[in-house]
Amino acid sequence: MREQKMRKRKGVCTGIAVLVTVLALIFPAGVYGADSEKDVTPNAKAAILYEATTGTVLYEKNADMQLAPASMTKVMTAIMVLEENPELKGELTVDERAVSHFYCSSMEPLRHLYAGEVISYEDCLNYLLIASGNEAGTAFAFELAGDMADFAEQMTAKAKEIGCENTQFRDPTGISPSNLTTPRDMAKIAEYALSFDKFREIVCKTEGTVPVSNKREEGFEYTNTNELLAPSELYENPYEGYIRGVKTGWTPSAGYCFTGCMEKDGLTWISVVMGVMDSAQAADGTAIRGDLPETVSLLALTEGITAEDLDKPVNAALIAGSIAAAVLIIGIIIFIYRKKRRREM
């Protein structure tokens, strides 16, 4: 009796071993795991590198850690604007509350929007995303929702609709430390924003202009805060020409942050770096944004990778069929095993 139990256990163990082997053959581990063995972003609290066309996460580090996104918040602000007005037609009048808010109090004189200024939707969104103009974000909030708090609630609701699970917004600029998101959620927000043609067009620009208006006799020019878009003598950027935006961020509490997009070799890479608390140094000792070397290190992971290398989403029918085949194979093996044992008895 005891011998029969031992044989039965042995048969079950054999079946389990065969099952594991067969499933491993049917569903081999991806070439690229979600967790990298090497920390390529040592100065960032959290990061992710995601390929949008295949849905592959190439690298992640604390990708679900909630952190303040700083001005990366403005990507969601832009989404709210583009959902309402995808062609950016028409004009808006800057509400007095938008420019008197303390979020806008530290702006450089004469290089900001004025209360009562009439500006086109397109010029305002350019200023928001390229120069990171805070009062452009507050102007949109009052224009579209009539109130900052209501607009922030709508932003949070839209983030959940997109699929973000750990994101909340309290203002449209990113200055509030109560704005929270994760690298994984921020990648989803960026991917959604990039589905708008106007967004893709704007975040690739290296500079822009706030034009003459009813409140200013002269316009002013500004440059993109995303330094990866343009060549630099301070640091090496091997991905110049491939970068397609998206948005920088910095506050004392959030540190340096950056969500980027790179299109290369038919693949679309979305990178997110958050919580880099210190600036970096160029070769000559000049201080540069702390997120720059972290992002370049992330993008270096993509070298030599093609679409064929990446894990593809597995069809549900294929999974079911493969499992059925595995069960059938195991059943045959167990049947042969038991038949052999009976003969030995």
Question: In this structure, what CATH number is given to the domain that contains residue 135?
Answer: 3.40.710.10
Residue 324 confidence class, pLDDT cut points 50, 70, 90: low
Q: Which residue range is the domain that position 235 belongs to?
A: 64-252
User: Would you state the pLDDT for residue 326?
Assistant: 55
User: Would you state the pLDDT for residue 23?
Assistant: 43
Q: Lowest-pLDDT range, 4-8, 216-220, 301-305, 331-335?
A: 4-8
Residue 285 confidence class, pLDDT cut points 50, 70, 90: confident
Nearest 5°: phi and psi at 248? Answer: -90, 170
Report yes or no on 292 lying in a domain: no
Q: Per-residue pLDDT for 138 more than 50? A: yes
Q: Are residues 218 and 330 in the same domain?
A: no
**Model pLDDT for residues 206-218, shown as the tens digit of each residue:** 999 999 999 999 9
Q: Are residues 18 and 85 in the same domain?
A: no
Q: Are residues 151 and 208 in the same domain?
A: yes
Q: Are residues 246 and 102 in the same domain?
A: yes
Q: Are residues 19 and 100 in the same domain?
A: no
Going from the C-alpha of 320 to that of each of 74, 323, 332, 334, the distances in angstroms are 43, 5, 19, 21
Q: Are residues 23 and 164 in the same domain?
A: no
Report yes or no on 165 lying in a domain: yes
User: Would you state the pLDDT for residue 327?
Assistant: 55
The residue among 237, 252, 267 that closes a domain is 252
Report yes or no on 48 lying in a domain: no
Q: Are residues 82 and 8 in the same domain?
A: no
For residue 248, give the nearest of 119, 103, 71, 68 by alpha carbon.
Answer: 71
Report yes or no on 56 lying in a domain: no
Report yes or no on 34 lying in a domain: no
Q: What value does the mean pLDDT take over residues 242-258?
A: 96
Residue 118 confidence class, pLDDT cut points 50, 70, 90: very high
Report yes or no on 43 lying in a domain: no
Arithmetic mean of pLDDT over the chain = 84
Three-state DSSP at 318 gives helix
Domain count, the chain: 2
Report yes or no on 285 lying in a domain: no
Q: What value does the mean pLDDT take over residues 165-194?
A: 97
Helices (H), the chain: 2-26, 73-84, 96-100, 121-130, 134-145, 148-162, 183-193, 197-203, 291-300, 316-344
Q: Lowest-pLDDT range, 15-24, 47-56, 91-100, 159-168?
A: 15-24
Burial class of residue 259, CB neighbours in 10 A (0-12, 13-18, 19+):
buried
Q: Are residues 211 and 131 in the same domain?
A: yes
Q: Per-residue pLDDT for 178 more than 90? A: yes
Three-state DSSP at 63 gives coil
Report yes or no on 35 lying in a domain: no
